[in-house]
Amino acid sequence: MNEHPHIRVELLSNPAYLSGARELIASVCKRLGFDDLTCSKVALAVDEALCNVIRHGYKYAENRPIWISLWPLLDEHARPEGILLTIEDEADQVDPSCMKGRSLEDIKPGGLGVHIIRDVMDQVCYEKRESRGMRLVMSKRVPRTAAPARLGRNTESEGSVQSIDG
């Protein structure tokens, strides 16, 4: 993560903005070659992380900053093969080893955000920021069976349609 993020968004800790964040993440994932279901799952993981910042970090204060940054993960030919995301805040720092979801056997509403994030994403790391706040770093790779995506132009209407009937 040495280079600047390809996209960096600052939003206030207001739940009204969560749908916009989900739409952004799902759209970028689609451009990077993820299927629709995986795009939705990654957007859900980001939504859960943002909800955790709002609920636990900022105690529902609606005017605190949250930053979402993302980078495409590229292969040796500069083709997208995944996404790297960070979510940062200025909430009180906590020991990253304490960032655990509740037991799945404990059946009750809520409390599954960390479990969902860890289940959806390939890599998840909670860390303290240098000055204040927390940082969540997570990544997801496009399954190798998916068609490779190309960054740049929109290619949805390019090419010809071929029949599978022969």
Backbone phi and psi for residue 84, each to the nearest 5 degrees, phi listed first: -120, 130
pTM for the model stands at 0.82
pLDDT at site 34? 97
Question: How far apart, in whole angstroms, are the C-alpha atoms of residue 84 and residue 20?
Answer: 19
Range with lowest mean pLDDT among 27-41, 120-134, 145-159: 145-159
Whether 83 contacts 29, CB under 8 Å: yes
